[in-house]
Amino acid sequence: MEISFTLEELVGISDDIKVEGHTTHPITGIASLSDAVVGDLSFLGNPKYSADVKTSKASVIFLPLNYVGKAKDGQAYLRTATPSRALAILTSNVEQKLWPEVSPGIHPSAVVHESANVDASSYVGPNCVIEEEVIIGAKTFLQSGIYIGRHVKVGKGCRLLANTTVQDYCEVGSGVILQSGCVIGSDGYGYETEHGCHMKIPQIGRVVLEDNVEIGANTTIDRARFNETRIGSGTKIDNLVQIAHNVHTGDNCLIVAQVGISGSTVLGNNVVIGGQAGLAGHLTVGDGVSIAGGSALLRNLNGGEVVRGSPAFPINDYQRMIVLQKRLPEFYKRLKTLEQIYVSPDNP
């Protein structure tokens, strides 16, 4: 499917766009500044790529207002306060054309329990299974192969993509996106060791996803041992993340791929966790904390702290340690020299 935009249509996506130059080429692709060809749109989202603007062959480029330079012949600059936002609006438009809304209804191959309540404006795709006493809100989309367990509540305007699972008694708010293969409400990892054997501890709680949460592909969020595991409103979780039982996140957190959060850890609002970071259990992390990728967090953090490393240190301490590590060979030579001078049979 080919989708194209005229210059006039691109200008109309935002009220603050200022046009410089002109192109008659229809825009049929989006590419980076260095890879773009005639007929492509590109953008400058990071100042370090500013030099690529002059040599870019893109027909249209979204640029910040303070960029210094002029468009070439046959090229248009669209200046805006936030080029990345303008591109996001455009790609949202493209997404709607690529994947238009399907007509409401239940596919003949879906299995829906007679006690389930699926809103008439929602869509249930092929091979979905909806168990007893489930409630599905208005304009929610279940793609295919989705399992919704007993007594689950799913809000309005949600998108559950292929092969996702929401286990019994869990709750999904409105505007939630579950990417393919994620599992909400899998058993928490709990065992009691007795006489060398590991006895399973029943996990009888649930998971609650508040409004506008997004969960990435193949991410798992465990049900609580008791009470609930809760993901706060507006939180976005990447692919391949493991969130253990009884974890609570605040609102608008960002949790990047391959993060692992151990049981009963509590995150404040607007916490950012970089990829492959690991958090020990029963920790409290304050509002606005940033944890760099690959870090191992073993202690509580106050609001606003920025940490990095394994174990995690304040970011400034970590940077100093890295600088000093590079000088270790030099320090070693100096130490050996001092030993030769000051440690001798005559001067032990």
- Please work out, in degrees rounded to the nearest 5, the angle formed at the alpha carbon of residue 227 by the alpha carbons of 222 and 231: 50
Of residues 25, 151, 198, 245, which has the active-site annotation? 245
Is residue 186 within 8 A of residue 150, CB to CB? The reply is no
Structure tokens that stand for 321 in this block: 């340690």
- Does the annotation mark 245 as catalytic? yes
Look at the block and give the residue holding tokens 């795709």: 125
Radius of gyration (Cα) for the chain, nearest Å? Answer: 27
Would you give the end-to-end CA distance of the chain in angstroms?
83
Structure tokens that stand for 274 in this block: 């970089």
Q: How far apart are CA 221 and CA 183, in angstroms?
A: 6
Helix, strand, coil content of the chain in percent (nearest 5): 15, 30, 55
Hey, which residues does 147 pair with through a beta bridge? Answer: 129, 165
Hey, which residues does 20 pair with through a beta bridge? Answer: 77
Q: Given CA atoms 123, 106, 100, 219 in this order, what sign does their dihedral have? A: positive
- Please work out, in degrees rounded to the nearest 5, the angle formed at the alpha carbon of residue 283 by the alpha carbons of 278 and 284: 115
* Nearest residue to 242 (alpha-carbon basis) of 271, 269, 222, 214: 222
Q: How far apart are CA 307 and CA 283, in angstroms?
A: 15
Structure tokens that stand for 327 in this block: 């000088």
Look at the block and give the residue holding tokens 């509540």: 153
Q: What amino acid positions are annotated as catalytic residues?
A: 245
